[in-house]
């Protein structure tokens, strides 16, 4: 049974607009949450993380929101750029054992 779910396999957004990627998890013991970006034939690249003691973390154009009561996190990219086109994975877990979602393929249209 999947512990981390990304229910949108793909998302298309116009350049300059906001991209919102969503992720749900099932285990209330998870205390660390991450987003990774992946290009074909490369390994995932770390984007941004958040611990369970926070509900928001920002890094430049990227913001992660955590709603612990809903067991939901989201990644906002503002403004979206064509170079952001990639597959985005969320990961959740604790003590080094992380579970990954199946990914959302983001396409930013120029």
Chain residues that interact with other proteins, rule: CB under 8 A: 4, 6, 31-32, 34, 36, 41-46, 49, 51, 89, 91, 94-103
Residue 77 or 87 having the CB closest to other proteins? 87
**Encoded tokens for 56:** 């928001």
Residue 17 or 56 having the CB closest to other proteins? 56
Residue 85 vs residues 15, 29, 38, 52, 95: alpha-carbon distances, Å: 10, 32, 9, 28, 31
Rg (CA), the chain: 13
Report in angstroms how near the CB of residue 17 gets to other proteins at its nearest.
26
Report in angstroms how near the CB of residue 58 gets to other proteins at its nearest.
16
Nearest CA to 102 among 30, 23, 47, 42?
23
Residue 84 or 103 having the CB closest to other proteins? 103
């Amino acid at each position: 049974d999947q512990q981390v779910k990304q229910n949108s396999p793909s998302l298309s957004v116009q350049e300059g607009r906001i991209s919102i990627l969503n992720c749900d998890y099932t285990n209330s013991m998870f205390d660390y949450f991450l987003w990774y970006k992946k290009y074909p034939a490369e390994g995932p690249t770390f984007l941004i993380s958040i611990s369970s003691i926070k509900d928001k973390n920002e890094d430049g154009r990227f913001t992660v929101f955590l709603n612990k009561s809903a067991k939901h996190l989201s990644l906002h990219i503002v403004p979206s750029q064509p170079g952001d086109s990639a597959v985005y994975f969320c990961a959740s877990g604790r003590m080094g054992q992380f579970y990954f979602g199946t990914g959302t393929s983001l396409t930013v249209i120029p």
